[in-house]
Amino acid sequence: MARRGLIREIFKHFTASFKPRQNGVYMGDDYFGNKYYEIPADPSRGKRNPKRFYVSPVDMRYDQDNMPAEWDAWLRYRRDTPPSEGELKGNLTIATMKKENAEKIEGSRPAGKQTHSDMSSFPIYEDFEVTPGEKPREKGD
């Protein structure tokens, strides 16, 4: 009987390991809908560092392409404090402005590859021969 209870507990903990942890302290969210959590450090229990994780708005879709750089830095312990709403909005405004400016510049350029008409692909030196054993090539050739 004790063996059956042990197997049940092992299976319960195994299946629970695949579910995202929800017992952390809510730290904030981003404009993609990701929610960020932190489990504080507890040195008395041997946990020196806090655990940080996020929950995606769509179940089982953990895609870091849809994560702002500020939250990514916080998750990877590159910054101690989570980003503020003002910081996120300011950086999003700057990023969209850069995108719009790049599209304007790209749209103003003529299509196709631009090359200089008076330049050859390699420099020509008077002192060196082009083909071994022949006389050096002139610049006008």
Higher pLDDT, 11 or 125: 11
pLDDT of 13 reads: 80
pLDDT of residue 9 exceeding 70: yes
Average pLDDT over residues 2-30: 80
Q: Which residues pair with 54 in a beta bridge?
A: 36
3-state DSSP assignment of residue 38:
strand
Higher pLDDT, 1 or 129: 129
Distance CA 46, CA 140 (A): 80
Q: What is the pLDDT of residues 72-125, one digit of tens each?
A: 999 999 999 999 999 999 999 999 999 999 999 887 766 655 555 555 667 767
Q: Which two tokens stand for residue 126?
A: 């008077």
Is residue 12 very low, low, confident or very high in pLDDT (cuts 50, 70, 90)?
confident
Higher pLDDT, 99 or 63: 99
Is residue 4 very low, low, confident or very high in pLDDT (cuts 50, 70, 90)?
confident
pLDDT of residue 5 exceeding 90: no
Q: Are 49 and 77 in contact (CB under 8 A)?
A: yes
Burial class (CB in 10 A: 0-12, 13-18, 19+), 127: exposed
Is residue 54 very low, low, confident or very high in pLDDT (cuts 50, 70, 90)?
confident
